[in-house]
Amino acid sequence: MPRDHRPAKSVRVLLAEDQGMMRGALALLLGLEEDIEVVAQVGRGDEIVGTALETRPDVALLDIELPGRSGLEAAADLREQCPDCRVLILTTFGRPGYLRRAMEAGAAGFLVKDGPVEDLAEAVRRVLRGETVIDPALAAAALSAGPNPLTTRECDVLKASVDGATVSDIAGRLHLSESTVRNYLSSAIGKTRTRNRMEAMREARQQGWL
């Protein structure tokens, strides 16, 4: 339907996706819906809040893994700075830990990208009506997986290990002593039931804890 003929109360959507082709395709498909209008598109997580304050969308459709700032972090910021904007997470990575973190950040929905666009459009409408929309299979997996066993600091040291940084490097980045970093790493390795910090980091990422 041509934009001029859209309903006066069409749903205003902000779309955050770092892959240009995927972002364009989603915007095009959602734009074909008579009652949905994509009013803004961003490719970085640190552009989300500023753009939302500028364009005042009804729904923010966010990927998780974005440059600059994750979609989960941006969701928490939107809850504080744009409380009227509902957040719907759309990601390739259907990980139980991500779902839990998304709900804690105030997201109203969580879907994976392999679903039909009709379901996505309906999810946008539903979260705007105040409903919570969660992929059923992922919801079941999250319940069976249990909560994140890692503390905030244990997550911090694992994140700092991603590029193969030494204990000294991590201590400097996080302003901790080397012995404290070793303790956190040892605890994280034990909780993830892995053999070393790189395996612990991979397991934590796989579970969506980081």
Phi and psi at residue 102, to the nearest 5° = -65, -45
**CA distance linking residue 135 with residue 150, whole number of Å:** 25
**CA distance linking residue 14 with residue 108, whole number of Å:** 15
pLDDT in tens, 91-119: 887 777 788 888 889 999 998 887 778 88
Model confidence at 44, pLDDT cuts 50, 70, 90, reads: very high
Instruction: Quote the strand ranges of 57-123, DSSP E.
Output: 59-62, 86-91, 109-112
**CA distance linking residue 134 with residue 123, whole number of Å:** 9
Report the sign of the C-alpha dihedral through residues 177, 180, 185, 186, in that order.
positive
Higher per-residue pLDDT: 40 or 189: 40
**CA distance linking residue 120 with residue 7, whole number of Å:** 19
Please tell me the predicted confidence (pLDDT) of residue 53: 96
Is the model's pLDDT at 3 over the cut of 50?
A: no
**CA distance linking residue 188 with residue 74, whole number of Å:** 26
Please tell me the predicted confidence (pLDDT) of residue 134: 87
pTM for the whole structure: 0.68
